[in-house]
Every structure is written in structure tokens, then in C-alpha cells.
Amino acid sequence: MTTKLTNSIRKFHSDEEGLEALQVVMIIAIAAMVMIACATLGKTAVGWMQGKWTTLQGIDPSGGAGGTGGTGNPLSGIPGLGGL
């Protein structure tokens, strides 16, 4: 019984073709996980950057009157600096 088990384990470890196929499947699975993570985080990053860009431009994304008055000058909302 022990000899049969030992031989089976040796045969499994010496099977390089099976090991190569397993490695290919594992690499594809890891690549898929990385791609899913990048796609998920990428959407969040793009939304964050769009928000920062509109803030930098001084545009109110809600469509109302922005703090800069829509002039694009971020200093126009600060008293005493609006005329710069």
C-alpha cells in the first residue's frame, strides 16, 4: 500500500506536461484577476479625475451657479481677489 502511494506521488511529481498545463491555467487566472481589478479601479480613478478637473476649471457639475461664476477663474470666488 505504501509503495503504491509513493509511486503515485512520484509519477505525479514527474509529470512535467501536466505541470506546464497547470502553470498556463494559473497564469491566465492571475492575468484575469489583474485585468478585473484594473477595470474596477480605473472607473473610480476616471470619475475622481473628472471631478477634480471640473473643480479646477471652476465649473459646477450640478448646473447651478458655481463659486467662480462660470468664469473659469478659481480666485473669483475669494473676496478681494475676484478681479485678478
Cα 2 to Cα 8: distance, rounded to the nearest angstrom: 10
Tens-place pLDDT, residues 27-72: 999 999 999 998 888 888 888 888 888 888 886 656 555 444 455 6
80 contact partners, CB below 8 Å, separation of at least 6: none
Residue environment code for 52-80, b if the CB has 16+ CB neighbours within 10 A, otherwise e:
eeeeeebeeeeeeebebeeeebeebeeee
Residue 68 identity: T
**According to the model, what pLDDT value does residue 68 have?**
45
pTM of full prediction above 0.95:
no
